Each structure stands twice: as C-alpha cells, then as structure tokens.
Amino acid sequence: MNEFLLVTGGCRSGKSRFALQWAEACSGQRLFLATARATDKEMAERIRRHRRERGKEWLTVEEPLDVEQALQTHGHQAGVILIDCITIWTSNLLLEMRSDERILQRTEQLVETLGQLPCSAALVTNEVGWGVHPAHPLGRRFRDIAGMVNQSLARSADRVVLLVSGIPITIKSGGRANGPR
C-alpha cells in the first residue's frame, strides 16, 4: 500500500535525514524533487552536499515552482518520491506574487497529483510559526500561508511525523482525514 508521509519540524531538526531514510527503505526507483534554488554560494554548496548524501540511486529533479508537473512527468516510474522542501516551494510561489488562495489551490493540486501516482511519497516541511514573530508584513504572510499549506497537507497525509532535536514523534497515524478541507 502506498503511503503519503508528511515530515515536519524546526530548522535542523533532522527532517530531511528522517525522510531520506524512510524513502530508502522503500523499493523501486527513488525520485527526489528539490524545490530550492541555488541563489548564493552557501545554498549552492548545500545543494551539492545533499546530492552527494543521496548518492547515485536517486533521480533528482530540481523544480522550484511547478512541482505538480514535475511529478506528472517523472513520478509514474518512481517507487518512492521525496519532495524537499514544501516550505521553500511555498516561499517560491509567494515570491512569484501568487495569492494565498492560489497557493492553497496549488497545494490541493499537489495532493491530487500525488494520489494519482502508483508510489509512496514523503514531503518535508517546516514549522515556521514556532519562531520569532516576523517584523515585516511579507514575513507574517509567509508564516501564515506556510501554516495553512502544512495544515492542508497534514489533513491529506496518511502519517505525519514531527522531528524535535533529531527525534521523530508520530503525531498522526492511520490514514487520511475524511473531514472538510
């Protein structure tokens, strides 16, 4: 049975490592869908390091905006998909001047696309609302829309795991919610 796993937590909490280990335990072709952009030297090095850590067993697709299309193109051959990171994808959409409503629609489209694929998927995201209250309107808008995206994904996920200081805590297990979206 295919599983939809949402992995969440704070920065450097071990989310990506946990999701990677989970995905590596799955059989079949591994697809890593990366949403980050190499906008500076530090980010470019981070992307290179993550590629090395994944190894050659992974097909890596870099797509900062059109995640759904990338999944439709590459997801049907995969045994497991890992999308890292939903928070960066949300930020990319926000910076493209997308409305909050449109970002939430895209989130629903992402869930629908994942449901059409014959494989398991893990999505990595951040709990950005647990930090400092943003001083600027764009920061507050980002925090709010990221929280709404996470809520939508958590409702649709089979399992949600929160990472705290490298320790995974299952906060939802046993299937998708049937309640209102």
Instruction: Just list the catalytic residues.
Output: 50
Do 32 and 150 touch, CB atoms closer than 8 A?
no
Burial class (CB in 10 A: 0-12, 13-18, 19+), 83: buried
Do 114 and 101 touch, CB atoms closer than 8 A?
no
Q: Which residues contact 132 (CB under 8 A, 6 or more apart)?
A: none
Q: Which residues pair with 36 in a beta bridge?
A: none
Do 126 and 143 touch, CB atoms closer than 8 A?
no
Spatial CA neighbour of 33 closest among 81, 65, 80, 88: 81
